[in-house]
Each structure stands twice: as C-alpha cells, then as structure tokens.
Amino acid sequence: MDSHVKEIEELIKLISKFPGLGPKSARRVALHLLKNKDTIAKPLSQSLIDVYNKVVRCSICGNIKSKEIKCTIDQCSYHKEKYDKICVVENLADMWVILSGNIFSGYFHVLGGTISSGEKFDQKNLLIDSLIQRVKNNSLKEVIIATSATVEGQTTAHFIEDAIKSSKIKITKLAQGLPVGGEIEQLDDGTLYSAFENRVPVTND
C-alpha cells in the first residue's frame, strides 16, 4: 500500500488512535477499508456521520441517546417499584461490562471520566451535580461507587462521598478484591461479581 498518499496517511493516523490498535494494525484496517470501499468504507462513513450528528450524552444519567428524542433509557427513568440502588461508574465501557455480566440490578450513573487531586469536576464536565439531584429526588436506599482502583478513580470516589453524604443514604464501594490500579472494564466477571457482592460501606465522618 502506498503510504505516501496523504489521505491514506491521515486515515492510518486516525485509526491508530483507537484503543489496542498501533500503526501496523491501523495499516491493515486501512487496507481492508480500501479493498472494500463500497461494502464497508462507504456505509461506515455514513454511520459515523449519523453518530456524530445524532447521538449525544444524556445530561441526567450520562448514557448515550438520540439527539432527536428525550432520554428513554431505563437507567434514566425512575421507577419506585423497580430499583432502590444506583451504581456510579466512570464511563460507558464500565457500565456495559457490568450489564453484560448480570452482576447488578439497579440504576446507573455515568460520570464521564474522573478527576485528579486539585481538579474541579466541572472542568471535565463530570455529571456529579446531576448525581446529587438524582439522589435527592428519588427514593434510593444505596449509592454504589464503582470507580476504578486508580488514583484518579479513588480521588473521584472520595469527592462523590463528600458530595452526597449529607443525604443520609447508604454509600458503598467495591470490595478491595478489585486490584490496585485496575479499571472496571478490564476485569473478568468473577472478579467483578466478587467486588460487588463484598462491597463495603463508606464511613461518613
């Protein structure tokens, strides 16, 4: 493949930004797209345009939704008879891996990232204010903080604990079986199940 064509070079550069794809893998993907322009590249480009124009993040629950309609995702709607717990995660990948393992039955709240020591959550557009409102407005019994065991994840967890502890709601976090430095989306179902089942209460000082 002639990698000196600027359009191809740009395509490879963009593909290599995908998680788990380096320059060599990006070149293979680009070559495959070029060989299948009508069956893959063209519909893919249209799909990307549609996602860019029509899919947005819900300002309440943090999940993704169509821009054209109100968020109808079950996790965003409150049903008194259905759930009394809400699980706070960093990103969509974390929520999806928990959902796929049938580990938790309840609402989710997707923060959209983490904060580091000294940062303000609004600098990263994290949905912490929205979480506080969901806790206040709904008859929830427990908030499960399922942030990663990284420094940023634990900093975010402590910030959330301080923000909602005045609500008197039960606050728990995943058990210490979660490996230090581990990210939720990379855990196997057994480890994640154990972390949920053995979650521990957060002491409100």
Looking at the structure, do residues 14 and 93 belong to the same domain, yes or no? no
Q: Which of 6-20, 24-38, 128-142 has the lowest mean pLDDT?
A: 128-142
Q: Is residue 90 very low, low, confident or very high in pLDDT (cuts 50, 70, 90)? A: very high
Integer CA distances (angstroms), 51 to 45, 66, 70, 74, 121, in order = 10, 9, 16, 21, 26
End residue of a domain, out of 20, 37, 57: 57
When mean pLDDT is compared over 20-24, 122-126, 179-183, the highest value belongs to 20-24
pTM of the predicted model, to two decimals? 0.79
Q: Considering only CA atoms, which of 205, 203, 204, 202 is closest in space to residue 88?
A: 202
Q: Are residues 185 and 119 located together in one domain of the fold?
A: yes
Residue linked to tokens 């990379």: 186
Q: Is the pLDDT of residue 47 over 80?
A: yes
Residue 167 sits in a domain of what CATH number?
A: 3.40.1360.10
Phi and psi at 49, nearest 5°, equal: -65, -45
Q: Is the pLDDT of residue 91 over 60?
A: yes
Number of domains in the chain: 2
* Domain, as residue range, for 50: 6-57
Q: What is the CA radius of gyration of the chain?
A: 20
The answer to whether residues 98 and 48 belong to one domain is no
What pLDDT is attached to residue 2? 46
- DSSP category for residue 127: T
Mean pLDDT, the chain, whole residue set: 83
Task: Name the more confident of 53 and 124.
Answer: 53
- What CATH number has the domain bearing residue 19? 1.10.8.420
Query: Mean of the pLDDT values across residues 136-154?
Result: 87
> Does 191 reside within a domain?
yes
pLDDT band at 165 (very low <50, low <70, confident <90, very high): confident
User: Quick one: 100 and 143 in the same domain?
Assistant: yes
User: pLDDT band at 203, cuts 50/70/90?
Assistant: low
- pLDDT score recorded for residue 174: 83
Tell whether 51 is covered by a domain: yes
User: What is the predicted pLDDT for the residue at 102?
Assistant: 84
Give the length of the chain.
205
Do 113 and 170 have their domain in common? yes
- Asked if residue 50 and residue 93 are part of one domain, the reply reads no
- Counting Cα atoms < 13 Å in the Cβ hemisphere of 123 gives 7
* Residue 100, both tokens: 């796929």
Per residue in 96-139, pLDDT tens?
988 888 888 888 999 999 987 776 666 677 899 999 988 888 77
Assess whether pLDDT exceeds 60 at residue 67: yes
Domain contains 79: no
Convert the pLDDT of each residue in 189-200 to its tens digit: 777 877 787 788
Q: Is residue 40 part of a domain?
A: yes
